[in-house]
Amino acid sequence: MAKITPFRGVRPQKELAAKIATLPYDVVSVAEARMFKDDPYNFYHVTRSEIDLPESIDIHSQPVYDKAKENLDRMLKDKLLFRDKEPCYYIYELVMNGRSQTGLICGSSVDNYLNGIIKKHEFTRPEKEEDRINHIKTTRAQTGVVFLAYNDCNSVQNIIDTWKKEHAPDYDFTATDGIRHIFWVVNDDSKTTLITKYFDKDVPCTYIADGHHRAASAAKVCLELRNGKPAENAPSDYFITCIFPASQLYIMDYNRAAKDLNGMSAQAFIQSIEKEFEVQKMGAEPYKPQQPHQFGMYIDGVWYKLTAKDGTYSHDPIGILDVTILQQNVLDKLLGIKDPRVDKRIDFVGGIRGLGALQKKVDDKEMAVVFSLYPVTIKQLFTIADSGNVMPPKSTWFEPKLRDGLVVYTF
């Protein structure tokens, strides 16, 4: 069962929450983060601390992690941040385009992660793990929240809903992208005990929706600190998560772009695709797939609708995914992109950027062809995780994104 714990979070003064909170470190580039270099409140000073160092710096070098610790310590010393006096849970609601989702921020058990009670659906990359490991070890803090999901549970949901109704939020602001962030601190011992009990009794497992590298890194730091000894319920035996009921989550499309046509002309490429897909010319307006096994393709100034023919895919949990169908029948078979995790000829564009941004990559000659996909469902994600399989890379794009800096887990 899901083992969670309240913790003494480090978080912003109420009037500074909107100024401090930032997008996750891994969805912004260094250039985008550097735009906030002169803002003393912004949490990129901790999560992307290279912005305070010369542009020539290796962003994975030790001085970057040392700067992150220095900046986190400064924000505490200057009272931009403070530490809660008692262990708390934190309720976090995000509202995007009128849609709301509410999760619980807590410490989740590293042993649950190691034993498969926290289920994964992606492989991780060693270099990305190493980056977060060094950041955590140097700062002695987990600054990025791992996004978890669970099958809806009434006992948990009722206590969260009741707390929201009976208490004013501690933070409530709308970010510049229009997403509203509402945050409650659950600091009543009887309620935190009850929440812990309900998760242990009624939630058999949780699923990583986003943050595989953060979770893997926290687990490896924990094991290193244990040094072969049994777990002692130390703070490092947990990692910061926000757990949402599945029914409230929204997965957007995660689209593909290829730099070249593997030596083919556009006409030859389209003719090759016709062997596995029904191809319909749509015109100049971006085409957004309306159901599974449909794809949009933009090449040479024209959008096409592709529909996978029967027999081009299997019906197992991985084979039936549209990301798999495209990978096997087009990216690998026609373009020679064998491993999209490492091949430099492919790029991935989250649906939040819109199909206009996808099309622009071709219009600007940055890419030769782009593909729009129908989103993976949360049910598919759970099925694959339950089966012990992993999805192809960059299969899911969750929105809205949790903000860094609203609460930090230290040890």
Where does residue 246 rank: exposed (0-12), middle (13-18), buried (19+ CB within 10 A)? middle
| 313 and 404 assigned to the same domain | no
Residues of the chain with pLDDT under 70: none
Residue 381 covered by a domain: no
Do 260 and 192 lie in one domain? The reply is no
pLDDT score of 190: 97
pLDDT of residue 88: 98
Q: What is the predicted pLDDT for the residue at 61? A: 97
Q: Is residue 384 part of a domain?
A: no
pLDDT tens per residue across span 41-75: 999 999 999 999 999 999 999 999 999 999 999 99
- Residue 303 structural domain: 254-374
Q: Is residue 197 domain-shared with residue 258, that is, in the same domain?
A: no
What is the structure's pLDDT at 131? 96
Task: Identify whether the C-beta of residue 343 lies closer than 8 Å to the C-beta of residue 260.
Answer: no
Q: What pLDDT does residue 143 have?
A: 97
Instruction: Kindly state whether residues 46 and 152 are assigned to the same domain.
Output: yes
Predicted confidence at residue 245, as pLDDT, reads 98
pLDDT of residue 50: 97
Structural domain contains residue 389: no
- Give me the number of domains the chain comprises: 2
Pair 342, 268 in one domain: yes
User: Do 263 and 211 lie in a common domain?
Assistant: no
Is there a domain that residue 123 lies in? yes
> Does residue 11 contact residue 82 with C-beta atoms inside 8 Å?
yes
| Domain co-membership, 136 together with 214 | yes
The DSSP call for residue 275 is T
Where do the DSSP E strands lie in 36-194? 81-83, 89-96, 99-109, 118-119, 141-142, 146-150, 171-174, 180-186
pLDDT of residue 393: 83
Asked, for residue 327, whether it belongs to a domain, the answer is yes
Could you tell me if 247 and 258 lie in one domain? no
383 is a domain residue: no
Contact between residue 272 and residue 334 where contact means Cβ atoms under 8 Å apart: yes
Whether 247 and 323 map to the same domain: the answer is no
pTM, whole model, 2 decimals? 0.91
Q: Within a domain: residue 173?
A: yes
Q: Report the CATH number that the domain containing residue 260 is assigned in CATH.
A: 3.30.1760
Both 216 and 266 in one domain: the answer is no
Between CA 299 and CA 266 the distance in angstroms is 7
pLDDT of res. 7: 98
Do residues 202 and 267 share a domain?
no
**What's the CA gap between 8 and 340, in Å, rounded?**
40
pLDDT score for 408: 98
What is the distance of C-alpha 378 from the center of its chain?
14
Same domain? For 38 and 172 the reply is yes
Instruction: Indicate if the alpha-carbon torsion angle 318, 202, 2, 193 is positive or negative.
Output: positive
